[in-house]
A and B are shown apart, each in its own frame.
Chain A
Amino acid sequence: MSEALSRLTRWASLFWLGLFAITWALSTWSFDLYKALDARWIIRFPKKFELPLDKWISDAMSWLVEDATFGLFTFRDVTRFISALIEAPYDIVRSLLIDGFAVGQGQQAVQVAPSLSWIAVIGIILALAYHARRRNLVLLVGICFVYLAMFGQWDSAMITLASVLIAVPIGVAGGLALGIFAYRVPLAERMMRPVLDLMQTVPVFAYLVPILFLFGFGPVSALVATVVYAMPPMVRVSTVALQSVPQELIEAGRMVGCTQRQMMWKVLIPTAKPSLMVGVNQVIMLTLNMVIIASMIGAGGLGYDVLTALRRLDIGGGVEAGLAIVVMAIALDRLSQAFAVRRFDAPLNPSLPFHKRRPLLTGILLLVAVTTVAGLFVPPVHLYPEDLTITTGSFWTAAIEWINVNFFNTLEFIKTQLLTFLLVPIKKFFGGIPWIWGILVIGLAAGRVGGWKLGLLAAGLTLFVAASGLWGKAMTTVYLCATSVLIASIIGIPLGIWAGQSARANSVIGAFIDTLQTLPSFVYLIPVVMLFRVGDFSAMIAVVLYALAPAVRYAAHGIRSIDAELIEAGKVFGCTERQILWRIKLPLAAPSLLLGLNQTIMLAISMLVITALVGTRDLGQEVYIALTKANTGQGIVAGLAVAFIAIIADRIVTALARSSRERLGLK
């Protein structure tokens, strides 16, 4: 029995070893092979068999925009209608926050009402924080917004906030509506699930291309892209939240004679509200993330400031705008989280007069009225006085310069060492794999882990990548992703284990990781570019920072959720701390670690695409180029290639996690 088992494990490790050895050999000598046999198809997918999918998509899009008609109206009319629908409320919010209300066009425009004063905006935000019943929160949010005013980021921040204020309600309402639909119609849920899966793996830039093509450059495009990006998690959260309302409550609703609508609005949604609010928080954070990225297609605001600063290599401006984004992200995140955990209010006493029933609201209305009127006569009340703003731009420029001057050698040393001994070899390894063998080896590995169906799926998706003529770039993506995930795991897992074992470590590491995770992905590029300039190495660092959080979280969770009795049993048998860690905790935490790995890979891939901005030569760059040329087909195909890589990785790691759970008898 045990002999058979050991033969089995030996055979298993032989399989993996063999696979790796062949891959390595082929990767090393593929170029020589091609030279020797004069067979270029070995390293390059033959041109004449390439799928012209990108051209087809581009043609289809052009047809949609130019010729498609639904009888009464054309496709163009539909996009115009959507634009108008989004633009109207956006204009209102923007007028309210910054521009002020005007009548007339262009030069003839006459202002009829001013925008809200900065004091009023801060007052409203503080009242919201107070309403969420968190004293500390009021302080934190107050500091954040006063920072934005004092450091001269107010206008950009308000433009960004306006986009958020429009995109979030649309995302939440749309997500909730689709979620309700999926909850009511199980067939719809089954059909939506793969679409949602794909939406969450397709890189953000890839959305931007067709949207840019359909809606043109400007805030509307940015808002559409933002909503498309931020809505899928809300759909999922809504469906799950509704599904997890206890059956008894639904029966109670039916027994008192609720109609379908009453059931939804009086029973299901209020009961599911705490979970729904988690979804709302997610929508807010994703919206902010995307609003920043969407500055590339005309969102304006803080993202635009960062983008221009990055392009001009204006260190000070970049860091300033970046910090403003950080501040805003933290404020919005904490605020929405506070609302998520807020308890239900006691009913108001209707006999009291309005100002006694709602003192906070009354105060805010007064504040708005007073500051608006006073702002007309005393400008500083309306706009934060410019000569009181503090510019830190030159400080940051100097600081970075100082670091670069004093630590140039150290930084450069680290960079070259890592490049020579890690990045370049891995790049060579992946880059050299001939495409045919690549397809085969993925299929074999996936099949071995998750059954022949998964194997076929993986091989098929890989074939798509190769057949689109993207093999080389895809391998660059894989190499960057693999390296970043490796480093993120090496840093993150030990941190997570430490946090899982010690409450004190956890409070520090947890806070750090929470903050890292609230930051929009764009922000990570700034310090990295400042210190390491452009290239693969900078990209890798940004990806590692962005993808670190799940590695830490899941490791900590895995360690923490181990049955305490098992650890006690280990102690009783006289295990040392070390043995307990290696023999009990780690094996039991393996499924959790694998789930963390999965999330790390997903985040790494999504970040990788954004690092195209700092000059990687992977699929992200392909999408980015497509974006600048507004080439829909190229963008979508490259985006799909990225999504397919993500899907393959996801399925393989999930299968691994599943089998490791089964091995441990966990369900």
Chain B
Amino acid sequence: MERPVKLDCRGVWKIYGSDPKAFLARHGGAPTAEDLAAERMTGAVRDASVQICEGEIFVIMGLSGSGKSTLVRCLSRLIEPTAGEIQFEGRNLLSMNEAELIEVRRKKMGMVFQHFALLPHLTVLQNAAFPLEVQGVDKKTREDRARQMIEIVGLVGREDHFPRQLSGGQQQRVGIARSLVADPDLWFLDEPFSALDPLIRREMQDEFMRLQAMLHKTIVFITHDFDEAIRLADRIAVMKDGVIEQIATPEELVRNPATSYVEDFTQHIPRAKVVKLRSVMAQGVPEGPYAGELPGSLTVAEAVDQVEAAPHPFKVLDEDGVAVGTIDGRTVVDVMIGRRS
């Protein structure tokens, strides 16, 4: 599945401290962690390169302070990177002037914030319509559009409430409506569900998946919660101390961790949740009775009940619906309980 690259970021650095540019130059553009420590500089993002493809959900994850927010703010140029290149739809984002940047943000980007960042003096409707108001869209058009968004996020009936009258989950729905109202291509979400209770968080994740199935945005999603990352991601970038340790699909991350840090991180993750049927199936489809057919993109955890209960194995299909392998109850149970065969 080769998709065009939407946002291409190469060798991005963000260093905090006194005169970071000179510091970077002194160390040939690639200071080590020791160099940083010696001069009391903070390397919030160090030499990050990511390519985000059209229509994918790209998750950046890492512990608190690992530089996720800083990286995503560099990608949207809310903060100026100390060094590096960022291309957005083939245009150099870093050389844009203020007016061009405003235009790009108005038309092409949307962002959801961890603490919602709703304007306290505006109602739900006005908050959702705010990006259009800023663009000078007339009142009727923008409110109609905002109403559509409010309907999509399921807040109909609360248009005239103020943010303070809403629960956290509802407030974030407004934040989502606002970020989508101008119909952006690239959608940034900085820990959008971290401030919510676990139950509501799950509900919002489902909601988010439903929205994405409908809208097909290009998404950069930040989280420190690995479960959330696996549930949502097409690809995951794991960050540690400003460095991207690995970029891979959830399954690869668990099966082939690139560094010991990623390995530690993924160890407690139930493999069944990430391993796809196509990775554990037996190749080839011999004759014999089968209980049915399953798509290879299903995770083991999703298929286990069906496979284990059936008296016969299942056929596994590839993307085009062609049977390419088989899977039986013993294999799925092996994956489930972590037994290596």
Q: Please list the residues of chain A having a beta carbon within 8 angstroms of any beta carbon in chain B.
A: 246, 248-249, 251-252, 254-259, 262, 266-267, 270-271, 273, 343-344, 346-347
Known contacts A256-B130, A257-B106, A347-B126; decide if A248 and B117 are in contact (CB<8 Å): yes
Which of B110, B119, B179, B182 is in CB contact (< 8 Å) with A270? B119
Interface contact B135-A255, CB-CB below 8 Å: no
- CB-defined interface of B159-191 with A at 8 Å, one 1/0 digit per residue? 010100000000000000011001000001000
Closest residue of B by beta carbon distance from A269: B121
B120 contact set on A, CB distance < 8 A: 270-271, 344
Known contacts A271-B120, A344-B162; decide if A256 and B115 are in contact (CB<8 Å): no
- CB-defined interface of B110-133 with A at 8 Å, one 1/0 digit per residue? 110111110111110010001101
Asked whether B299 is an interface residue with its Cβ less than 8 Å from the other chain, the reply is: no
CA–CA, A344 and B178, complex, Å: 20
B6 contact set on A, CB distance < 8 A: none
Interface contact A255-B126, CB-CB below 8 Å: no
Interface contact B119-A248, CB-CB below 8 Å: no
CA–CA, A266 and B126, complex, Å: 12
Asked whether B73 is an interface residue with its Cβ less than 8 Å from the other chain, the reply is: yes
CA–CA, A545 and B203, complex, Å: 60
A249 contact set on B, CB distance < 8 A: 117, 119
Which of B78, B123, B133, B178 is in CB contact (< 8 Å) with A347? B123
Interface contact A256-B160, CB-CB below 8 Å: no
Known contacts A251-B111, A271-B119, A344-B120; decide if A257 and B78 are in contact (CB<8 Å): no
A266 contact set on B, CB distance < 8 A: 119, 130, 133-134
Known contacts A262-B134, A266-B134, A346-B160; decide if A255 and B111 are in contact (CB<8 Å): yes
Interface contact B134-A252, CB-CB below 8 Å: no
Interface contact A344-B134, CB-CB below 8 Å: no
Interface contact A347-B113, CB-CB below 8 Å: no
Known contacts A249-B117, A347-B160; decide if A255 and B134 are in contact (CB<8 Å): no
Which of A257, A273, A346 is in CB contact (< 8 Å) with B134? A257
- Count of chain A to chain B residue pairs whose CB atoms are closer than 8 Å in the complex: 70
Interface contact B114-A248, CB-CB below 8 Å: yes
Size band of the interface chain B makes with A: 20 to 34
The 6 A-B residue pairs with the shortest CB-CB distance, nearest first, are: A257-B106, A256-B131, A252-B117, A248-B117, A257-B105, A255-B111
CB contact list, B26-79 vs A, under 8 A: 73, 76, 78
Interface centre among B113, B114, B182 (most CB of A within 10 A): B113
CA–CA, A258 and B119, complex, Å: 13
B119 contact set on A, CB distance < 8 A: 249, 266-267, 270-271
Interface contact A346-B113, CB-CB below 8 Å: no
Interface contact A255-B160, CB-CB below 8 Å: no
Interface contact B105-A255, CB-CB below 8 Å: yes
Interface centre among B103, B105, B106, B119 (most CB of A within 10 A): B119
Known contacts A344-B162, A347-B123, A347-B160; decide if A256 and B105 are in contact (CB<8 Å): yes
Interface contact B78-A251, CB-CB below 8 Å: yes
CA–CA, A254 and B106, complex, Å: 9
- CB-defined interface of B77-92 with A at 8 Å, one 1/0 digit per residue? 0100000000000000
Closest residue of A by beta carbon distance from B188: A255
Interface contact B102-A252, CB-CB below 8 Å: no
